Each structure stands twice: as structure tokens, then as C-alpha cells.
Chains A and B, each alone.
Chain A
Amino acid sequence: MKTRIFLPLVAAGFTAGLLAVSGCKTTVNSVENAQKEGQRQMVSDSRVITDGSLAKKVSIVGVNQSMTPGGFLKVQVELLNKTRSYQAFNYRFEWFDANGMQMDSLSPAVIPSTIEGKESKFISAVAPTAACKDFRLKLVEN
């Protein structure tokens, strides 16, 4: 009697597991020029990790910055999905002036984003004013 009840359950679970595995495991192959023309101006960063689970999945590879023609700070952060699964996360940039005061003129834009398994991805933002000198990027797991 027990076997009659459990067998369909086990079969259903196995099928669901297979579907989940096949649906989420997608990794990315890429190619790029080996001799780079552009030189990234890398920024030494300090990191605060409170969500170890997210850090294990979507890690920060490096941060570089440049100035726009209008004199605004532009920041680019390279992220790497260390897992083989598609990941969804949210991010938000915060900006600070020379005195360390926060300079967000609009409501903070929390941007939803996704990254494929083993994919390297860049996210960037431009400071809202030329007075912004520093930044902070916040990442939240979805």
C-alpha cells in the first residue's frame, strides 16, 4: 500500500527536479579581442558583505571609473556569476559629494537585473551632478 502511494510522488519529484535543473543551468561562452586598445582606470574598492549567499553567486570582479565630457563621474562595475545557474538581483548606486554628503536628486532607482551562469557582466551609472566625487553600489538578492 505504501509503495502505491510513494512511487507516484517520487516520480513526480524526480520529474520536477529534472525540469528545474534543465531550466536553470545555462552558462555563457564569450570571445573578445586579446590585445585591448582601451585601458580601464581601476578603482581600489572597499567591500562590505552581509549577504554571503549573494556574494557567492554574484561576485564583484572590479570597479573602474571615468569622467564624461560634461565632467560627471561615470562608474562601471564588473560582476561575475560564479554559479552555473541564472541569477536575479537588484542594484542601486548612491552618490556622495566632496564632503561625503549623499547627493541623490531623484528617488533611488533600484534596478532589477539578471545574469546567466558563469557570465561576466558590467553595470554602470553616471553621477547626477558634477559635484559627486564618491559612490557606493548596493546589491540585493532577488
Chain B
Amino acid sequence: MKKTVLLPIIAAAIPFLAAGCAGTNAHYVQTGDQHNVVTIGAINIQDYIQAANEMTGKLLASGALDRVANPPAVLAISRIVNNTAQQIDTDLLTKKIRVAVLDSGKALTTTTMGLGGTAEDPMAKGLQQENEFKNDVKATRTPDFTLSGKIIQLAVKAGNTSQSTYSFQLSLTDAKSGLAVWEGEKEITKQGTRSSVGF
């Protein structure tokens, strides 16, 4: 009697078990969409895109970049502190913001000035200095604003459920006054018992 009940149940479960074990062949997905892998213990590409998009939108909407005597404003990228448990390249966030700000026409980013005197583009800096020397003029425009920030991770666990909150914080500082003229924060929280595909 037991067999008659259990056999159909087992038979029905086999296709689901097989599908669960089968992997998927490598294929392309659109970066940042709902088919991307989601992990709790790491910042995924869709998190960077979401944070950059939202903060750029707020920065542009604030009008802070418009308050310069000689538009478009010049922006220098300062330190982005990584306070997460993982090694990350903060350009994944800042590059997206730079691209969006440049496309908006509201600001230009300098590549010849960097933190500690290091230029992002040493060749451009050399050519710029050479040009200044030849023409005996100071052509360099100092940045109107600097962009600094921090990425923080807050991880907690309850039973089998893990949760990570990633806080992306940015400050736009007026280089003349040293005052923060705009600040943005975007928090992304992910929760689950295991990684998955999709939001």
C-alpha cells in the first residue's frame, strides 16, 4: 500500500531533481539586468550600476555642478575608501559616474591631477607641462570640485539566512571653500540563504 502512494511521488520528483542538478551552458546576458548572478557576500555589477545611476541622477538634479563661474565645472576624483570585506576596484563606481556626468555636459573630469600628485594619465600631464613651459603660460584649470566617498559593507546572519548591506557614499566638495556642496548615499541590501540568478 505504501508503495502505491510513494512511487508516483518519487516519479513526479525525478524531472525536478534532474533539472536542478543540470547546469546551464555558458551564454551572454545583458550586464545589469535581472538575469545576472546575485551574491550576498559580494558587490555585483548590477549593484555598481544601480548605485552609480541613482547617485548621478541625484547629483545632476541637485544643480550643484551648475554653480560655477565658468561652466562646465571641472571635477577631480579623490579617494574612495573601500570598507568592505572584499577587494574591489572603485573605478567600477566612479567611472560610471564620470561617464554620466561628462555625457550630461555639466562637468569635465581632469586626468592630469590625482591623489598624492599622481596623474591618471601621465602622458597628458607631461604634454600639458611641456605646453605650459613652451608658451610660458599657466593653462591648467584647477578643479572646481572633488569627488570622494566610501563603500561600506554591513553583514549579518540569522540562522541560515545571510544579509549584506552595501552603502555607497559620495561627497562633492567645493575645492575653493572646502565645503561639501552635495552628498549622496545609496544603500543596497541583499538577503538569502544562497546565491541566485536574478533580483
A140 touches B34 (CB 8 A): yes
Whether B58 is near chain A, meaning CB under 8 Å from some CB there, is yes
Whether A72 is near chain B, meaning CB under 8 Å from some CB there, is yes
A142 touches B100 (CB 8 A): no
A90, B33: Cα distance in complex, Å: 9
Whether B17 is near chain A, meaning CB under 8 Å from some CB there, is no
| In the complex, the 4 A-B pairs of residues with the closest C-beta atoms, listed nearest first | A69-B63, A112-B199, A126-B57, A109-B53
A129 touches B105 (CB 8 A): yes
Q: Which residues of B contact A74 (CB under 8 A)?
A: 61
A126 touches B61 (CB 8 A): yes
Contact for B50 among A1, A5, A68, A109, CB less than 8 A:
A109
Known contacts A2-B1, A69-B66, A90-B199; is-contact A105 B103 (Cβ 8 Å) = yes
Residues of B within 8 A of A (CB): 1-2, 5, 30-34, 46, 49-50, 52-54, 56-58, 60-63, 65-66, 96, 99-100, 103-106, 198-199
B96 touches A106 (CB 8 A): yes
Main secondary structure of the interface of B (DSSP, over half): helix
A106, B98: Cα distance in complex, Å: 10
Q: Which residues of A contact B57 (CB under 8 A)?
A: 125-126, 128
A1, B96: Cα distance in complex, Å: 66
Nearest residue, chain A, Cβ from B4: A2
Whether A108 is near chain B, meaning CB under 8 Å from some CB there, is yes
B58 touches A126 (CB 8 A): yes
A130 touches B34 (CB 8 A): no
Contact for B198 among A68, A70, A128, A142, CB less than 8 A:
A142
Q: Give the distance to chain B from A8, nearest Cβ to Cβ, in Å.
A: 12
B33 touches A5 (CB 8 A): no
A130 touches B32 (CB 8 A): no
Q: Which residues of A contact B61 (CB under 8 A)?
A: 68-70, 72, 74, 126
A108 touches B33 (CB 8 A): yes
A-B contact pairs, 14 of them (CB 8 A): A69-B63, A70-B63, A70-B65, A72-B61, A74-B61, A106-B53, A106-B56, A106-B100, A107-B31, A108-B30, A109-B53, A112-B199, A125-B57, A130-B105
A110 touches B32 (CB 8 A): yes
Q: Give the distance to chain B from A114, nearest Cβ to Cβ, in Å.
A: 10
Known contacts A105-B103, A129-B103; is-contact A110 B46 (Cβ 8 Å) = yes
B49 touches A106 (CB 8 A): yes
Instruction: Tell me the A1-39 residues at the B interface (CB within 8 Å).
Output: 1-2, 5-6
Whether A101 is near chain B, meaning CB under 8 Å from some CB there, is no
Q: Which residues of A contact B100 (CB under 8 A)?
A: 105-106, 128
